[in-house]
Amino acid sequence: MNKPELLMPAGNIEKLKYAIKYGADAVYLGVVDFSLRAMRKGELITLENLKTAIDTAHKMGAKAYLTLNIFAFNSDIKALENAMDSIVETNPDALIISDPGIMKLAEKYMPNTPIHVSTQANILNYEAVKFWQDIGAVRCILARELPVKDVAEIKKKVPDMELECFIHGAQCVSFSGRCLLSDYMTGGERKANSGNCSQPCRWSYKLLEETRPNEYQEIIQDEKGTHILSTKDLCLVKHLKEMIEAGIDSFKVEGRTKSLYYVSAAAKAYREAIDAIMQNPDADMEPYFQELLKVGNRGYTTGFYLGNGEYPSDGYSYNISKGLAGADFLCEIIDKKDDSYKIRTKNKFNKNEDIEIITPSEKFVTQVTEIIDGKGFDLDVANTNNELWVKFTKPPKEYEYALIRTIGIKNTTNETARCACS
């Protein structure tokens, strides 16, 4: 079996670094105006620091793919053309594109840069793959709506074309993002295909059925209404073997707007799972699935991948709209002095509490024995959004990129427990 690439999201420069340290072979990133994710936190990737971001990935031994995958209006084409000189200097390993007009600009300004066709292009068959290959693309990011058996057939029909598939993350209720709900419901302020979707598919709705003039009967699932459009998150960690055998070249994890912890923990789980499969095709994937329960999710499903093109009936999350993590992200370690570690807290925890430390090479349970604030006072509680110094019964071998979370798994909803991934 050929070892697939693990491709992780890089929503900002910090997440880019963590994704690579935790196992990504490549990252995908974009600037706000020309990609499908508008970031609002962290060291945002802009035209001004895009070269720094891509250079950082290269120095860390990973590839960096630049997303230019909006569906472009005339004004977007003009803006992108004005930015192309700056983009050329950044030297990305590939451009992810869905719009033929943007592809023409790429061919004009960056003729030697590989083109990856975005999942936004809704590629569902081998003739479409051949079409994109004929006009110069080297990789197709297939639609999430494809079953894996169709992916295998595409690879047999077009063996010299790279194929990329999503293996994890949020799914769109529409065909790979081609949705107007957000645009319509926000009066044109939040356009899905301009990187600013308000995710109305995650909202809770109540339906009114008109049965006769002036008489309405409310249809609700329960007193809270129902998330009738909200899909569960994709999780294919238990099916990596089938996907590798289908000939997929790159495994993609969704989540440029997800947290630093999500990116790191998901990268670690899939890196270790892929490596285990390559050593033993029959390796047990359950431990890695359990790890993925610890990151934010709306319940997991295998989506379209295992069927004949139909979405599973249990693939919708009727109870929650926001992903719930099975473990709370407590803090990141940012410095070390002697046997004390400086942390930046995300959620509060107590002295003498059992916690779990994960690093790119480790995962273990330890205990916080001391919490000291900036003035040198001993604390019993580490509160949220503080920089503090702590000591552990067992410290990490390498503190850089170390993250701390609660132990065990909580928030495992019935939706997750009975998901199609089980």
Whether 181 has a pLDDT exceeding 80, the answer reads no
Rounded Cα distance, 249 and 7, in Å: 10
Residue range(s) occupied by CATH 2.40.30.10 in the chain: 329-405
Rounded Cα distance, 146 and 297, in Å: 22
Of 173-187, 356-370, 380-394, the poorest mean pLDDT is in: 173-187
Name the pTM for this structure: 0.89
Q: Comparing C-alpha atoms, which of 289, 204, 222, 296 is closest to residue 255?
A: 296
Of 3-7, 171-175, 338-342, the poorest mean pLDDT is in: 171-175
Residue range(s) occupied by CATH 3.20.20.70 in the chain: 5-171+231-301
Return the percentage of the chain with pLDDT > 90, whole number.
Answer: 68
The residue type found at 377 is F
Q: Which CATH number fits the domain 5-171+231-301, given the four candidates 3.30.830.10, 3.40.50.300, 3.20.20.70, 3.40.630.10?
A: 3.20.20.70
Contact 259, 296 (CB under 8 A): yes
Q: For 210-227, what is the mean pLDDT?
A: 55
Rounded Cα distance, 5 and 138, in Å: 15
Q: Under DSSP, is residue 165 helix (H, G, I), strand (E, B) or coil? A: strand
Name the more confident of 382 and 205: 382
Contacts of 395 (CB under 8 A, 6+ apart): 339, 341, 366
CATH classification code of 329-405? 2.40.30.10
With cut-offs at 50, 70 and 90, classify the pLDDT of residue 126: very high
Contacts of 120 (CB under 8 A, 6+ apart): 36, 69, 71, 98, 176, 177, 178, 193
Whether 418 has a pLDDT exceeding 50, the answer reads no
Whether 215 has a pLDDT exceeding 60, the answer reads no
How is the chain split among helix, strand and coil, in percent rounded to 5? 30, 25, 45
Rounded Cα distance, 378 and 193, in Å: 50
| Chain-centre distance for alpha carbon 263 | 7
The whole-number pLDDT of residue 149 equals 95
Of 32-36, 47-51, 126-130, 195-199, the poorest mean pLDDT is in: 32-36
Q: Which two structure tokens, joined as six digits, stand for 371?
A: 């919490």
Print burial letters for 79-118: b (CB count within 10 Å at least 16), e (below 16): ebeebeeebeebebbbbbbbbeebbebbeeebeebbbbbb
With cut-offs at 50, 70 and 90, classify the pLDDT of residue 208: low
Rounded Cα distance, 142 and 13, in Å: 27
Q: What are the residues facing 169 on neighbouring strands?
A: 234
The whole-number pLDDT of residue 414 equals 41
Contact 326, 417 (CB under 8 A): no
Rounded Cα distance, 47 and 84, in Å: 10
Whether 337 has a pLDDT exceeding 90, the answer reads yes
Contact 340, 374 (CB under 8 A): no
Rounded Cα distance, 320 and 247, in Å: 35
The whole-number pLDDT of residue 198 equals 72
Whether 36 has a pLDDT exceeding 60, the answer reads no
